[in-house]
Amino acid sequence: MKHTKCYIAGHPRPQFVRKDWKSLNGTWKFAFGEEVNDAAAKKGELARTICVPFTYETEKSGIGDTSFHESVWYSREIEGKAGKRTLLYIGGADYETEVYVNGSFAGRHVGAYTRFCVDVTPYLRGNRGTLCIKCTDCNSPVQVRGKQRWERENFGCWYVQTTGIWKSVWLEYVDKQYLTELKMTPSLQDNSVTFSVGVSHPCADAQVRIAISFDGKPVQDVCVNARDAENEICVRLDSGALTYQVEQWSVWSPALYDVDIEVWQGGKKVDAVGSYFGLREFVAKDGKLLFNNLPYYLRLLLDQGYWPESGITPPSEEAIESDIRLSKEMGFNGVRKHQKVEDDVFLYYADILGFVVWCELPSNHWYSDEASERIVNEWMQIVRQNYNHPSVVTWVIFNESWGVRNIFTNGRQSALATALYYLTKNFDPMRPVISNDGWMHAKSDILTVHHYEQDGEKLYSFYDDIRKLTEGDAGNSQFLPYAEGYRYEGQPIVMSEFGGTAYVNDEKNGWGYGAGVKSDEEYIARLRSLVSAISKMHISGYCYTQITDVEQEVNGILRADRTPKVPVEEIAKINRI
């Protein structure tokens, strides 16, 4: 495995790396909201301790309390640097977050699944400060939740809630003038990459320099005025007297270009950020999925990204890498990250190992004007923050009509799905977008189907004619492919959920789809029959449910601790059908 030039072990944002940074992960003071008054909490007077970034519900946090608490407080001491601004980054905190430094309010963020930054410099005293963070959560189904339960106990496929900080926290030290935005858009058609960058204070004497290299060798170098840099800067990778072959990113050869971005002002370098990009194209066209202009068949795993000891927070960088490698060993070429926006480090390993990702909005579960506003705000942050990763090839907005339960006949709900489709395409025209994965699509680039029939022959009988996929079964409205007012227009088709088989013994403590199997041989035979059935449908791929058992849902190929239920090589053979 080859890391990128800018890679620093443990850095929580491997595609935007400043060398002057400090991790704040580790032991913090902690309290539940009902245990402390706000005045004391803002002073850091908290009685418990917790290991950040693991939430109090998990064993890794050191607490392991799965009951619901409306608010939580965190505190620790931080240090700035003389002559520098101190930026506080929180990778993810659920749900409403308030930041206080030395008792003063410094910033607020709403949303569970996106990164945010607070400049805490004005609140430090002598470059030191007591950092206090309050996170407030609730059990409202209006909120963007994903698989978090909104009742006291687990039910169906909803699990223990996630409260408070669940992704890394760190500091970065910058000058007054620094890089704030970086958007990189590769174009396979003309072997180019377009940069859109932003700086904190655009002015006449500030410049942005971008140096592209590959495998340690210079490729292109550009320098523009900071004001111009906020416009698009297109750089050809094959122009000039170059003596190398332009490299494309793919699952077979995940070639990545290194990028060094510097900000200069008054002849002095004031900021430097390391990044990378991949030159690749993934499109839905003429009824097919094309990867770098070639037809591509998806073999995805549904991946909810849970660990027994740490919930939705990966327990380590090594655990992330291991999950991807094990998935590839089983013959899968990507994942549909289900109801979770994954850690930046996961996407980094997907980038360097060659593994495609469907990025999905964690669902709310009731429809309302308030829910719609929350969804729009959080979804567009998700798209912006994950845009640069070459491994991310598809955006998924809704899942199985969750949060838009009446989308089939309710024009407002289908309009919301379609509006989000066009908002996403406005920011990112280069990736396919799915408005409602599974059935009852509004405007979508891919038609997706969910079906958990456990007999391969029966599964094929449902879809042995393309019209059964594109028109559905009028006698079963659950599987109608389109909401009213929308129809099939030649999109590629993917069976994006199927399988979910469990062992009978496992189902004593949980559940799987259909009747459980009793032996390894029966498990392998069933999986083979299902994949064989899908392979005869002449569609563009499938997504098997799921990579691991998750709490009461015991239908993973792997157990929750990542132990394979059947030999990995047998799964790989089936995926080669």
pLDDT digits (tens, 9 = 90+) for 397-444: 999 999 999 999 999 999 999 999 999 999 999 999 999 999 999 999
> Is residue 504 pLDDT above 70, yes or no?
yes
**To the nearest whole number, what is the mean pLDDT of the chain?**
94
pLDDT band with cut points at 50, 70 and 90 for residue 244 = low
Task: Compute the distance between CA of residue 148 and CA of residue 503 in angstroms, rounded to an integer.
Answer: 25
528: pLDDT strictly greater than 60: yes
Which distant-in-sequence residues (6+ apart) come within 8 Å of 156 by Cβ?
none
pLDDT above 80 for 105: yes
Higher pLDDT, 474 or 366: 366
Q: Looking at residue 204, what is its pLDDT? A: 84
Residue 86 has pLDDT above 70, yes or no: yes
Using only C-alpha atoms, the chain has a radius of gyration, in whole angstroms, of: 24
Domain ranges of the chain: 25-167, 179-277, 294-575
**Contact at 8 Å (CB) between 114 and 92?**
yes
Q: Which amino acid is at 47?
A: A
Residue 478 has pLDDT above 90, yes or no: no
446: pLDDT confidence band, cut at 50, 70 and 90? very high
For the chain, percent of residues with pLDDT exceeding 90: 88
What pLDDT, on the 0 to 100 scale, is given for residue 349? Answer: 98
Contacts 24+ apart (CB under 8 A), 502-509: 502/554, 502/555, 503/554, 503/565, 506/549, 506/554, 507/554, 509/552, 509/554
How far apart, in whole angstroms, are the C-alpha atoms of residue 435 and residue 416? 9
- CA–CA separation, 58 and 551 (whole Å): 12
User: Which CATH number applies to 179-277: 1.10.1740.10, 2.60.40.10, 1.10.287.3510, 3.40.190.10?
Assistant: 2.60.40.10
Predicted local confidence at residue 101, as pLDDT: 98
* CA distances for 239 relative to 188, 190, 234, 288, 389, angstroms: 14, 10, 12, 31, 24
pLDDT of residue 8: 97
User: Torsions phi, psi of 86, nearest 5?
Assistant: -110, 115
pLDDT of residue 523: 95
Q: Give the pLDDT score at 242.
A: 56
CA distance 285 to 186: 18
Task: Name the β-bridge partners of 272.
Answer: 262
What beta strand segments (E) does 256-383 contain? 257-265, 268-277, 282-285, 288-291, 294-295, 298-303, 334-337, 356-360
Residues of the chain with pLDDT > 70, as a percent, come to: 98
Q: At the fourth CATH level, which superfamily is domain 25-167?
A: Galactose-binding domain-like (2.60.120.260)
How far CA 387 is from CA of 168, 344, 430, in Å, comes to 20, 11, 10
> What pLDDT sits at residue 3?
97
Q: What is the pLDDT, as a whole number, of residue 477?
A: 59
Q: Give the side-chain half-sphere CA count within 13 A for 260.
A: 16
pLDDT band at 240; cut points 50, 70, 90: low
Q: Is the pLDDT of residue 287 over 80?
A: yes
Cβ atoms 330, 557 nearer than 8 A = yes
Q: What is d(CA 342, CA 525) in angstroms, rounded to the nearest whole number?
A: 32
Length of the chain: 577
Among the listed ranges 58-72, 360-374, 449-463, 496-510, which one has the minimum average pLDDT value?
496-510
| pTM of the complete model | 0.96
SS3 state at 379: helix
Instruction: Say how far apart CA 263 and CA 513 lie, in whole Å.
Output: 55
Angle at CA of residue 383, ends 544 and 442, nearest 5° = 65
Residues contacting residue 251 through CB under 8 Å, at least 6 positions apart: 291, 333, 334, 354, 355, 356
* CA angle (136, 141, 145) in 5-degree steps: 65
Give residue 499's Cα distance to chain centre: 23
What confidence tier does 230 reach under pLDDT thresholds 50, 70, 90? low
Does residue 474 carry a pLDDT above 80?
no
* pLDDT reading at 475 higher than 60: no
**Residues 343 and 167: beta-carbon distance below 8 Å:** yes
* Alpha-carbon gap, residue 195 to 260, rounded angstroms: 12
Distances (CA, A) of 348 to 60, 277, 361, 388: 23, 11, 19, 10
- CATH level 3 topology of 294-575: TIM Barrel (3.20.20)
Nearest to 298 by CA among 432, 185, 187: 432
Token pair of 437 as six digits:
């994965």
